[in-house]
Amino acid sequence: MNIPTANYLNKRVLKLNVGFLLSAGPSNHKIMALNITDPVKIADDLVVKSINGTLRLSRNKEGILVQASDLVFVVDRECSRCLNTFEHPISITIEELFASPHPIDESEFFVGQDGQLDLAPLLRAEALIQLAHREYCRVDCQGLCVYCGTNLNDTTCDCADNQIDPRMAKLKELLDAGK
Ligand SMILES: [Zn+2]
Ligand SMILES: [Zn+2]
Protein backbone atom coordinates (compact mmCIF):
# COMPACT_ATOMS: atom_id res chain seq x y z
CA MET A 1 0.00 0.00 0.00
CA ASN A 2 1.68 3.19 -1.14
CA ILE A 3 -0.92 5.88 -0.55
CA PRO A 4 0.76 8.91 1.06
CA THR A 5 -0.08 9.12 4.77
CA ALA A 6 -1.56 12.61 4.35
CA ASN A 7 -4.25 11.19 2.09
CA TYR A 8 -5.69 8.85 4.69
CA LEU A 9 -8.80 9.82 6.53
CA ASN A 10 -8.25 9.70 10.24
CA LYS A 11 -9.84 6.66 11.84
CA ARG A 12 -11.85 9.07 13.95
CA VAL A 13 -14.41 8.94 11.11
CA LEU A 14 -15.25 5.52 12.54
CA LYS A 15 -16.29 7.00 15.87
CA LEU A 16 -20.03 7.25 16.10
CA ASN A 17 -21.85 9.50 18.47
CA VAL A 18 -24.54 7.36 20.08
CA GLY A 19 -25.39 9.63 23.00
CA PHE A 20 -28.82 10.32 21.52
CA LEU A 21 -29.57 6.61 21.33
CA LEU A 22 -28.42 5.99 24.90
CA SER A 23 -30.73 8.77 26.07
CA ALA A 24 -33.60 7.42 23.99
CA GLY A 25 -33.59 4.26 26.12
CA PRO A 26 -33.98 0.53 25.42
CA SER A 27 -35.79 -0.75 22.29
CA ASN A 28 -34.90 2.28 20.20
CA HIS A 29 -32.73 1.85 17.16
CA LYS A 30 -31.12 3.79 14.37
CA ILE A 31 -30.17 2.77 10.86
CA MET A 32 -27.01 4.46 9.73
CA ALA A 33 -25.35 4.38 6.33
CA LEU A 34 -21.59 4.01 6.37
CA ASN A 35 -20.28 5.29 3.05
CA ILE A 36 -16.64 6.25 3.13
CA THR A 37 -15.10 6.60 -0.30
CA ASP A 38 -11.66 7.82 0.76
CA PRO A 39 -8.91 5.62 2.18
CA VAL A 40 -9.11 5.21 5.94
CA LYS A 41 -6.28 4.06 8.11
CA ILE A 42 -8.20 1.82 10.50
CA ALA A 43 -5.04 0.73 12.29
CA ASP A 44 -1.28 0.83 11.71
CA ASP A 45 -1.56 -2.48 9.88
CA LEU A 46 -4.76 -1.81 7.96
CA VAL A 47 -5.76 0.78 5.37
CA VAL A 48 -9.02 0.34 3.51
CA LYS A 49 -9.79 2.27 0.32
CA SER A 50 -13.52 2.47 0.92
CA ILE A 51 -16.19 1.25 3.32
CA ASN A 52 -19.80 0.87 2.30
CA GLY A 53 -22.81 -0.58 4.03
CA THR A 54 -25.49 -0.05 6.57
CA LEU A 55 -25.26 -0.21 10.33
CA ARG A 56 -28.12 -0.99 12.63
CA LEU A 57 -27.57 0.43 16.10
CA SER A 58 -29.99 -0.92 18.70
CA ARG A 59 -30.23 0.35 22.23
CA ASN A 60 -30.76 -2.40 24.78
CA LYS A 61 -30.33 -2.67 28.54
CA GLU A 62 -26.63 -3.51 28.24
CA GLY A 63 -25.65 -0.82 25.78
CA ILE A 64 -25.67 -0.51 22.00
CA LEU A 65 -25.85 -3.55 19.75
CA VAL A 66 -24.12 -2.87 16.44
CA GLN A 67 -25.11 -5.05 13.51
CA ALA A 68 -24.19 -5.02 9.83
CA SER A 69 -24.40 -7.80 7.30
CA ASP A 70 -23.57 -5.94 4.11
CA LEU A 71 -20.40 -4.04 4.85
CA VAL A 72 -17.93 -4.09 2.00
CA PHE A 73 -14.35 -2.91 2.40
CA VAL A 74 -12.09 -2.47 -0.58
CA VAL A 75 -8.46 -3.13 0.25
CA ASP A 76 -5.30 -3.23 -1.82
CA ARG A 77 -3.82 -6.69 -1.73
CA GLU A 78 -0.85 -8.43 -3.20
CA CYS A 79 -1.72 -11.46 -5.29
CA SER A 80 -0.25 -14.56 -3.64
CA ARG A 81 0.75 -15.91 -7.06
CA CYS A 82 1.92 -13.03 -9.27
CA LEU A 83 2.56 -10.42 -6.52
CA ASN A 84 0.65 -7.72 -8.40
CA THR A 85 -1.44 -5.38 -6.29
CA PHE A 86 -5.13 -5.60 -6.91
CA GLU A 87 -8.28 -4.21 -5.34
CA HIS A 88 -10.00 -6.80 -3.25
CA PRO A 89 -13.52 -6.24 -1.90
CA ILE A 90 -14.15 -8.07 1.35
CA SER A 91 -17.52 -8.60 3.00
CA ILE A 92 -17.76 -7.99 6.69
CA THR A 93 -20.53 -9.05 9.02
CA ILE A 94 -20.63 -7.58 12.49
CA GLU A 95 -22.80 -8.14 15.51
CA GLU A 96 -21.29 -6.78 18.68
CA LEU A 97 -22.52 -5.25 21.88
CA PHE A 98 -20.86 -2.01 22.91
CA ALA A 99 -21.49 -1.92 26.64
CA SER A 100 -22.81 1.19 28.36
CA PRO A 101 -22.16 2.20 31.01
CA HIS A 102 -18.59 0.96 30.76
CA PRO A 103 -18.67 -2.27 32.80
CA ILE A 104 -16.20 -3.12 35.56
CA ASP A 105 -15.18 -6.34 33.79
CA GLU A 106 -13.48 -4.42 30.97
CA SER A 107 -15.50 -5.68 28.04
CA GLU A 108 -13.58 -5.31 24.84
CA PHE A 109 -16.14 -2.97 23.30
CA PHE A 110 -17.92 -0.20 25.12
CA VAL A 111 -19.36 3.26 24.63
CA GLY A 112 -16.97 5.93 25.90
CA GLN A 113 -17.83 8.53 28.55
CA ASP A 114 -18.27 11.00 25.68
CA GLY A 115 -21.12 8.94 24.19
CA GLN A 116 -18.85 7.79 21.35
CA LEU A 117 -18.54 4.30 20.06
CA ASP A 118 -15.34 3.47 18.20
CA LEU A 119 -15.86 1.00 15.38
CA ALA A 120 -12.19 0.89 14.35
CA PRO A 121 -10.96 -1.97 16.61
CA LEU A 122 -13.96 -4.14 15.75
CA LEU A 123 -13.67 -3.49 12.01
CA ARG A 124 -9.94 -4.20 12.15
CA ALA A 125 -10.49 -7.53 13.92
CA GLU A 126 -13.14 -8.64 11.43
CA ALA A 127 -11.14 -7.50 8.40
CA LEU A 128 -7.97 -9.27 9.51
CA ILE A 129 -9.89 -12.54 9.74
CA GLN A 130 -10.97 -12.07 6.12
CA LEU A 131 -7.47 -11.10 5.03
CA ALA A 132 -5.74 -14.02 6.72
CA HIS A 133 -6.03 -16.40 3.80
CA ARG A 134 -4.28 -16.28 0.44
CA GLU A 135 -5.93 -14.35 -2.32
CA TYR A 136 -5.34 -14.24 -6.06
CA CYS A 137 -5.83 -11.31 -8.43
CA ARG A 138 -8.06 -13.56 -10.49
CA VAL A 139 -9.02 -17.23 -10.38
CA ASP A 140 -6.85 -18.15 -13.34
CA CYS A 141 -3.82 -16.08 -12.35
CA GLN A 142 -0.80 -17.67 -14.06
CA GLY A 143 1.68 -16.40 -11.49
CA LEU A 144 5.38 -15.80 -12.04
CA CYS A 145 7.79 -17.99 -13.93
CA VAL A 146 9.84 -19.79 -11.29
CA TYR A 147 12.97 -19.45 -13.42
CA CYS A 148 12.97 -15.86 -14.75
CA GLY A 149 10.26 -14.16 -12.71
CA THR A 150 8.22 -13.10 -15.75
CA ASN A 151 4.61 -12.38 -14.93
CA LEU A 152 2.95 -15.07 -17.01
CA ASN A 153 -0.32 -13.13 -17.08
CA ASP A 154 1.34 -10.48 -19.25
CA THR A 155 3.64 -12.47 -21.44
CA THR A 156 5.23 -15.87 -21.90
CA CYS A 157 8.78 -17.13 -21.63
CA ASP A 158 10.59 -20.24 -22.81
CA CYS A 159 11.89 -21.31 -19.43
CA ALA A 160 9.41 -24.10 -18.90
CA ASP A 161 10.44 -25.69 -22.22
CA ASN A 162 14.17 -25.28 -21.64
CA GLN A 163 14.38 -26.36 -18.06
CA ILE A 164 13.22 -29.32 -16.20
CA ASP A 165 12.34 -29.41 -12.56
CA PRO A 166 14.86 -31.66 -10.78
CA ARG A 167 11.95 -33.44 -9.14
CA MET A 168 10.67 -34.27 -12.62
CA ALA A 169 14.04 -35.36 -14.01
CA LYS A 170 13.62 -38.94 -12.85
CA LEU A 171 10.23 -39.13 -14.51
CA LYS A 172 11.63 -37.73 -17.76
CA GLU A 173 14.35 -40.39 -17.65
CA LEU A 174 11.73 -43.09 -17.36
CA LEU A 175 9.63 -41.59 -20.12
CA ASP A 176 12.62 -41.24 -22.43
CA ALA A 177 13.64 -44.84 -21.71
CA GLY A 178 10.19 -46.00 -22.72
CA LYS A 179 10.31 -44.27 -26.10
ZN1 LIG B 1 -2.06 -12.77 -9.68
ZN1 LIG C 1 10.66 -17.77 -17.46
Phi, psi torsion values for 27, nearest 5 degrees: 75, 10
Cα 102-103-108 angle, rounded to 5 deg? 80
* Segment 132-166, tens digit of pLDDT: 989 999 999 999 999 999 999 999 998 877 766 66
- pTM for the structure as a whole: 0.78
Q: Taking residues 47-53, what's their average pLDDT?
A: 95
The residue type of 30 is K
Is beta strand 29-36 parallel, antiparallel or unpaired with respect to 40-43? Answer: unpaired
Measured in angstroms, how far is the CA atom of residue 47 from the centroid of ligand 1?
A: 21
Measured in angstroms, how far is the CA atom of residue 172 from the centroid of ligand 1?
A: 30
* Segment 13-44, tens digit of pLDDT: 899 999 999 999 999 999 999 999 999 999 98
The whole-number pLDDT of residue 170 equals 73
The whole-number pLDDT of residue 29 equals 96
Q: Which ligand is nearest the CA of 160, by number?
A: 2
Measured in angstroms, how far is the CA atom of residue 158 from the centroid of ligand 2?
A: 6
Among 71-75, 132-136, 173-177, which stretch is predicted with the lowest mean pLDDT?
173-177
Please determine, for residue 112, whether its predicted confidence score (pLDDT) is greater than 60. Answer: yes
